[in-house]
Amino acid sequence: MKTMEEYVRTIPDFPEPGIMFRDITSVLMDPEGLKLAVDSMIDALKDVDFDVVAGIESRGFMFGMPIVYALGKSFVPVRKKGKLPCETITESYALEYGTAEIEIHTDAVKPGQKVVMIDDLLATGGTMEAAIRLVERLGGTVEKAVFLIELKGLEGRKKLKCPVDVVVSYEGI
């Protein structure tokens, strides 16, 4: 049986020299790799009491949907600004050059609901930090954030004020 590290493809010098890009398409293309990824993320939730999974566009959707299906929970999309059709609230977060915005429907999380956040990658933590603020503004409580991959060198975990679990960590950036 292969480990998750064996399924994740590393591409040196992409998108620029010195970057070791951790590519999850190799995980998605392999049924055993995808099963291992989803099962590992579900395992990270075995002792967590929660009502809702919130996934961040778009790879958080890929991993969040099979998790909610397996566990009988509901799913809430957190999307880029302008992509949701009903009333939303918005949060900004910093990018390397500039800012971006994400949003959530105002009726997506009810006050008092316990939420698990899902995404593929924990890098700087800015996107997840903004997503957590959205959930909290709606009255939800974030019980845990689960990621497939963490780039430890970027220290994104430090921005998150909730328990964090990852399937595989890489020391660099």
> Which residues are marked as active site?
59, 96
- Distance from C-alpha of 21 to C-alpha of 13, rounded to nearest angstrom: 7
Residue 12's CB: how many other CB atoms inside 10 A? Answer: 9
Q: Give the H or E element holding residue 23.
A: strand 20-23
Q: Are the beta carbons of 119 and 55 closer than 8 angstroms?
A: yes
Structural tokens at position 142:
């974030």
Residue 11's SS3 state is strand
Residue type, 45: L
User: Residue holding tokens 């959707």?
Assistant: 61
- Distance from C-alpha of 150 to C-alpha of 157, rounded to nearest angstrom: 9
Structural tokens at position 62:
């890929």
- Distance from C-alpha of 87 to C-alpha of 107, rounded to nearest angstrom: 8
Strand pairing of 114-122 and 141-151?
A: parallel
